[in-house]
Structure 1
Amino acid sequence: MAYDLELADRLRDLLIAEPDLTEKRMFGGLAFLVGGAMAVAATDDGLLLRVDPEERDQLATDPLAGPWIMRGSELRGWLRIEADASTAAETLEPWLEHAVRAARASR
């Protein structure tokens, strides 16, 4: 499965100052890991985003957000976010803050 290369570039630009940032191909996309824990991935249809499981339901009320379903099961602590290379940085940045915070907390 291909992923949105331009979206991955945008994520890289927004996350570049994050300490311990690495990239790895995962889940058919390009994942960005913080301290070895996946925070976010660019896929062919948006973002896979790690979130605090306690905040997940509230965050899922955003019109851009939906559940991440894998093998028929909804994964707690993860959301799928509708985004592409044209999504404004002001829209992406708050999602990335949640993702980085959740990735750091998972270690």
Structure 2
Amino acid sequence: MAYDELLARRVRPFLSGYPGFSEKRMFGGMAYFLDGNWCIGIFKESMVVRVGLEAYEAALAEPHVTIFGSDERQMRGWAMVGPLGLEDLPSIRAWVERGVAFVETLPPKE
């Protein structure tokens, strides 16, 4: 299954105004970067948000959020938000802002 292009179009405006914004198709989905750091991804019908280790457990406790990765290789610091958690623009914006808040703590990649 390809990634949800409508979700990608809804996410892009919340990120495109940030300095260093870029996007790239990856692993059958879409990835959004800020200053070279992976921030948000669209995988199938879900959004993958880079929240960092400190906010990871709290993110997983939220409705419609699951672990990103496989049982063998969980991607700690990354949360997968399912479609029911992304039904409206305020919800999408809130998750994007969480990803941005974490990525802004990282040094730019060259």
Which TM bucket (shorter chain)? 0.7 to 0.9
Equivalences, count: 106
Q: Quote the residue 2:28 is aligned against.
A: 28
Indicate the percent of aligned positions where both proteins have the same amino acid.
27
Q: Give 1:71 shift.
A: 7.0
Q: Quote the residue 2:44 is aligned against.
A: 44
Q: Give 1:88 shift.
A: 0.7
Q: Quote the residue 1:102 is aligned against.
A: 102
Counting only pairs closer than 5 Å after superposition, residues 2-13 of structure 1 correspond to structure 2 as: 2-13=2-13
Q: Quote the residue 1:75 is aligned against.
A: 75
Unpaired segments ≥5 residues, structure 2:
none
**1:8-49, Cα deviation, whole Å (9 max, x unpaired):** 111112222222110011232110000100100112130111
Unpaired segments ≥5 residues, structure 1:
none
Q: Equivalents in 1 of 2:57, 2:71: separation in Å?
A: 20
Q: How much is the aligned-residue C-alpha RMSD, in angstroms? A: 1.8
Give the structure-2-normalised TM-score: 0.86
Q: Equivalents in 2 of 1:72, 1:51: separation in Å?
A: 20
Q: Secondary structure at the match of 1:25?
A: strand
Give the structure-1-normalised TM-score: 0.88
